Structure 1
Amino acid sequence: MKRFRRLVLFALLALVAAGGALYEGWIRVPPDLFPWGPVMLDRKPGWFANIQLNGLSTDGAACRAALGRTAMKFSVMADRKIGEDCGFTNVVRADATSIAMSPRPVATCAMTAGLYWWQQRLDAIAQAELHSRVVRIDQLGTYACRNINSAAEGRRSQHATANAIDIAAFHLADGRVISVLKDYGKPTPEGRFLDAAHDEACGLFNIVLGPDYNRLHANHFHLDLGGFRFCR
């Protein structure tokens, strides 16, 4: 019992000392360390990256400010209402990013922020697994006024609000093309790259679907910032 009390006392003293050091400025904490701090997209995504992206989803001004602190170039697009339960608000076009995307994606600001973070991680993975850099990402689309899996009935897809993107392939500086359809699940450097890219996306976006989910996703990774979290 005495030992437990000593441990509690020691922990309390350590907390008081840390608080004093923070107050006096002896310890400097990066402003984006906590989820309520400003989102610094040029830093490596931290533990709360997903929470931060979801916060940007509800604060267009903060999201555009976060993008504006990066080297990327983007254009703010007009809000649109298209058909029943379709359309988009707070959408930007990524005109120039660290890794080129083809075609240039038009997606919600928060999705664009997530893609910027994901690109940084992709480049690190590619250099580790493939000894080359990613120079282009092929995407199949962001906006489409449809239901999930293009079903005749059911809930609207996040694509219906440009809050999703489908990623098909990655082009490397050495000329190789890594295809989700051809390379995913293989015991090769290309397959390991795709596995790691999928895992990194799961740490950032709310929903990540790939070939393991169903046959409709055999040729792409689906990434979105919908209302719940699921990764497969």
Structure 2
Amino acid sequence: MPKSRRRTTRKTRRTAQMLILLAIAAAMLLALYAFSRARPQDVPWTPLDLGQPIGLFTGRKIAALTEQPALCRALLDRAGAHFDAIPPFGADQCLVEDGLKLAGGARRITLLPENPRMACPVAAGLAMWEWNIVQPAARRIFNQRVEAIDHLGTWNCRHIAGSTSWSQHATADAIDVAGFRLADGTVINVLRDWKGDAKKAEFLRTVRDGACALFSTVLSPDYNAAHADHLHIDQARRGAMSRRPCR
């Protein structure tokens, strides 16, 4: 076969291959677009909506709100999670500029002790956690709702125990959940019930696992003895591809 004809054949083959690859890429983009319309939180580029079901990227989108306090508050308001904005508090490494207190409203979250100060992304995670994980689990397992969430604190200007690194509590980017109170007065306690009553233990593990989709870090009694009496959940600033501890 003449060289010119061989060159023409190779060029034709490369063109055909390129057209096939372009067609495949176009089909994939179309599929992704359709998927993003049906489940917007499963793709990274769609705007966060706290009223949408939890998706693959919901947690990372919430954590990113640490750099967008105005947007965070707007999203909470739009979703019906009423709150009271508060002035900046703390100083230096413990300065909190996007703090708020969750309040009553159409979609109410009761925390005991009441009115803890927290960074906005923590509030956003808590709101979605209660609506999508905590209440559905309570209805399924106990056939009733959770009336309150017991906690051990949010803001605390300190280092991580045994470390020189600052805790997420130092900037109110964390909350330690100690238990839950059901509508009939039943108390579910992390320390007592993690390995106790079967239904309560199931509930605690269900809400722990669900929190992992919404928070940067979730640590439970399964992690170490220091967390025997609470679930530590925080919105630590992490890279897009960094590991999000969940244990």
Q: With the length of structure 2 as denominator, give the TM-score of the two structures.
A: 0.79
The answer to whether the aligner puts 1:116 opposite 2:131 as a matched pair is: no
Give CA-to-partner distance per residue, 1:166-201, whole Å, 9 cap, x none.
Answer: 101101112211000110133601100000111011
The answer to whether the aligner puts 1:192 opposite 2:202 as a matched pair is: yes
Given the alignment, which residue of 93, 107, 121 partners 2:101? 93
The answer to whether the aligner puts 1:135 opposite 2:147 as a matched pair is: yes
The answer to whether the aligner puts 1:55 opposite 2:64 as a matched pair is: yes
The answer to whether the aligner puts 1:230 opposite 2:238 as a matched pair is: no
Equivalent residue letter for 2:102: A
Given the alignment, which residue of 75, 82, 102 partners 1:66? 75
Aligned residues: 221
With 129-138 and 90-99 compared, the bigger mean Cα shift is at 90-99
Give the SS at the match of 1:127: helix
CA-based RMSD of the aligned residues comes to 2.9
| Bigger fraction of residues in strand | 1
The structure-2 alpha-carbon separation of the partners of 1:28 and 1:39, relative to structure 1 and needing over 3 Å to count, comes to closer
The structure-2 alpha-carbon separation of the partners of 1:11 and 1:118, relative to structure 1 and needing over 3 Å to count, comes to farther
Give CA-to-partner distance per residue, 1:66-120, whole Å, 9 cap, x none.
Answer: 11102221111112343x5212121111112533111223211111100001001
Q: Distance in 2 between matches of 1:10 and 1:125?
A: 46
The structure-2 alpha-carbon separation of the partners of 1:190 and 1:11, relative to structure 1 and needing over 3 Å to count, comes to farther
CA contact (8 A) 2:41 2:57 kept: no
Identity over aligned residues, as a percent? 35
| Bigger fraction of residues in helix | 2
With 156-165 and 86-95 compared, the bigger mean Cα shift is at 86-95
CA contact (8 A) 1:139 1:169 kept: yes
Instruction: Measure how far apart 1:225 and its partner are.
Output: 1.1
Equivalent residue letter for 1:36: W
Give the SS at the match of 1:211: coil
Given the alignment, which residue of 203, 207, 222 partners 2:213? 203
Q: Unaligned stretches of 5+ in structure 2?
A: 1-15, 239-243
Instruction: Measure how far apart 1:128 and its partner are.
Output: 1.2
The answer to whether the aligner puts 1:162 opposite 2:172 as a matched pair is: yes
The answer to whether the aligner puts 1:41 opposite 2:50 as a matched pair is: yes
Q: Distance in 2 between matches of 1:53 and 1:73?
A: 17
Instruction: Measure how far apart 1:154 and its partner are.
Output: 1.0
Q: With the length of structure 1 as denominator, give the TM-score of the two structures.
A: 0.84
Q: Unaligned stretches of 5+ in structure 1?
A: none
The answer to whether the aligner puts 1:80 opposite 2:92 as a matched pair is: no
Give the SS at the match of 1:148: coil
CA contact (8 A) 1:185 1:195 kept: no
1:6-45 map, 5 Å: 12=23, 15-16=26-27, 19=30, 28-29=37-38, 32=41, 34-45=43-54
